[in-house]
Amino acid sequence: MSLGVYVSVPFCRSKCTYCNFASGVFSADRMGRYVERLGADVAACRALAAEHQAEIPGPVDSIYLGGGTPSLLLVEQLKSLFLAIRNEFQVDAKAEITVECAPGTLTDNVIATLLSCGVNRVSLGVQSFVDKEAASVARLHTRATILDDIARLRGSGITNINVDLIAGLPHQTRESWTYSIEQAIATEVPHVSVYMLEVDEDSRLGRELMAGGTKYHAHFAPDDDLTAEFYEAACERLNAAGVEQYEISNFARAGFESRHNLKYWTRQPYMGFGVDAHSMLSAADGSEGIEGWRFATTDSFDGYFTAAETKASPVTTEQAIEESFFLGLRLNRGVSLDRLRKEFGDRLDDYNQVIDELIGNGLLVRTENNLRLTPRGRMLSNEVFERFIEGRSLLAVEGK
Ligand code: SF4
């Protein structure tokens, strides 16, 4: 069993209006203190695991620096972060090592540093190839910047590139959305992520949309039905172009699925460090009734330094089964009922009624011993997952 390592770097050049993450614009001094604290947390992780009789497997086969904009870190800070990880963990020579980057932050110096740290995958927060749309949500790049970054990454040898897109941005039309999708395909990057705009209280644009206001270009945003239509069109067009959907929001050319994110959806162990970071580890042998442990840090930047206690929650067998369903069903390949039966035995029968009901509603389909979401189930996935959770609140699970 191998381990994934996630590091949260919550720093940004400016705050995008749609962003509901625990990220922001911070001074160089605070960024420096944060990196120091991260190093200390990485060094202390085995003590935390031991306290809860949780197992840290090895070696590390995926590292993911997310955020935020990790490419904003000074090159010395990037190096010290990777050094802290390599000092604590044995990192597989073929590990997938991803860094999230905002277009326009990849100077030649940063790219050289990423390479020297072993980075072999970059995820670009593009969101839209249409300059007006990107500018309206406070992104600081243009289409030309994106294409230049992709070309320079490839020139450096980093060819495993992801492009993030968001459906539902202000000013987006059928034509402009089609343009962004076609541009993503034309770049021939091997991985594309497509998210539907999240409308909630945690972002400025979300609050404005909920209030029906006009700030942040909210009145130019497509409605929910049109956003859903954009998402469906993206699935169709990307699949046809050979960038195949393998998860609700993720598409890849064959062999380029994100190893790191697959760990989240298949309940493989990972450790997260920094603000609003989550971990999942198996319970050591002999932990009666406990399948594993989930750990979560605070989502407050200041709280991370002052009351930085990591919340630990045991995962019972029942929760582990539910997680197996609502995480595994995110994948197009679905979940293998045979595999779950091997892992959980007759406890799986407790879910027969829910499964039958969801199949009857046309949200799930069963082929022999494999259970998958139908296309309609994918659109209503949260409702499907809630049926498995049955109202119990679980720790939030990592994935953007
Ligand atoms: S969307 Fe990304 S770059 Fe924009 S504010 Fe949020 S974390 Fe920062």
Average pLDDT over the chain, rounded to an integer:
93
* Reported confidence tier of residue 390, pLDDT bands at 50, 70, 90: low
Q: Is 349 exposed, middle or buried (0-12, 13-18, 19+ CB in 10 A)?
A: exposed
For position 388, what pLDDT does the model report?
85
pLDDT at 60 over 60: yes
- At 393 the pLDDT is 37
Tell me the CATH class for 3-262: alpha beta
**DSSP-assigned letter for residue 386:** H
What is the 197 CA–ligand 1 centroid distance (Å)?
A: 13
Q: How far is CA 105 from the centre of its chain?
A: 20
- Residue 398 scores a pLDDT above 60: no
pLDDT score of 308: 63
**Tens of pLDDT along 94-116?**
999 999 999 999 999 999 999 99
pLDDT value of residue 285: 80
Tell me, in angstroms, the distance from the centre of ligand 1 to residue 335's CA: 32
Could you write out the DSSP letters of every residue in 76-139? Answer: HHHHHHHHHHHHHSPEEEEEEEEEEE-TT---HHHHHHHHHTT--EEEEEEE-S-HHHHHHTT-
Which string of DSSP letters, residue by residue, matches 343-364? HHGGGGGGGHHHHHHHHHTTSE
Q: How many CB atoms lie within 10 A of CB 278?
A: 21
Task: Kindly give the number of the ligand 1 atom that is closest to the alpha carbon of 68.
Answer: 7
- Among 12, 65, 128, 203, say which to mutate for ligand 1: greatest number of ligand atoms within 8 Å of CB: 12
Does the pLDDT value for residue 397 go beyond 70? no
- C-beta 16 within 6 A of ligand 1: yes
DSSP state, 331? B
User: 153: part of which helix (H) or strand (E)?
Assistant: helix 143-156
For the chain, what are the domain ranges? Answer: 3-262, 320-400
- Is pLDDT above 70 for 5? yes
Question: Is 68 a residue whose pLDDT tops 70?
Answer: yes
Atom 2 of ligand 1, nearest CA residue: 68
* Token pair belonging to 44: 């202390």
SS3 39: helix
In angstroms, what is the span from residue 368 Cα to ligand 1's centroid? 42
Q: Is 68 a pocket residue for ligand 1 (Cβ < 6 Å)?
A: yes
Residue nearest (by alpha carbon) to ligand 1 atom 4: 16
- Nearest protein CA to atom 5 of ligand 1, as residue: 15
Q: Do residues 48 and 282 touch, judged by C-beta distance below 8 A?
A: no
Determine if the peptide bond prior to 68 is cis (ω within 30°).
yes
Ligand 1 atom with the shortest distance to the CA of 12: 8
Average pLDDT over residues 254-258: 98
Q: Say which amino acid occupies 157.
A: G
| Residue 12 beta carbon below 6 angstroms from any ligand 1 atom | yes
The model scores a pTM over 0.85:
yes
What local confidence, expressed as pLDDT, does residue 395 receive? 35
Dump pLDDT digits (tens) for 204-225: 999 999 999 999 999 999 999 9
User: What is the reported pLDDT for 6?
Assistant: 98
CATH class of the region 320-400: mainly alpha
Token digits for 157?
A: 């040898």
Q: What is the average pLDDT across 221-241? A: 97
Higher pLDDT, 158 or 307: 158
Which class for 313: exposed (0-12), middle (13-18), buried (19 or more C-beta within 10 A)? middle
Residue 243 scores a pLDDT above 90: yes
Rama region for 380: left / alpha / beta (φ>0; ψ in -120 to 50; rest): alpha
Give per-residue pLDDT as tens, 264-315: 999 999 999 999 999 999 998 877 789 999 999 999 998 898 866 789 999 9
